[in-house]
Amino acid sequence: MSALTGKTVTYSRTEMTELALPGDSNVLGNILGGRVMHWIDLAAAMTAARHAGRVAVTASIDSLEFLHPIKVGQVVHLVAQINWAGRTSMEIGVEVFREDMAIADIKRTSSAFLTFVALDANGKPVEVPPLILSTSEEEERFRAAQTRRAERLAHRQQAQQHRE
Digit-by-digit pLDDT tens for the chain (164 residues) are 456 799 999 999 999 999 999 999 999 999 999 999 999 999 999 999 999 999 999 999 987 889 999 999 999 999 999 999 999 999 999 999 999 988 989 999 999 999 999 999 999 999 999 999 999 999 999 999 999 999 988 888 888 887 77
Per-state percent for the chain, helix, strand, coil, to nearest 5: 35, 40, 25
d(CA 40, CA 32): 13
Query: Which residue, among 80, 72, 95, 9, has the nearest Cα to 42 in the 3D structure?
Result: 80
What value, to the nearest 5°, has the Cα angle with vertex 67 and ends 152 and 75?
115
Rounded to an integer, what is the distance from CA 103 to the centroid of its chain?
Answer: 29
pTM for the predicted model, two decimal places: 0.92
Reported as half-sphere exposure (CB side, CA atoms, 13 A), residue 89 has a value of 14
In CATH, what number does 7-163 get? 3.10.129.10
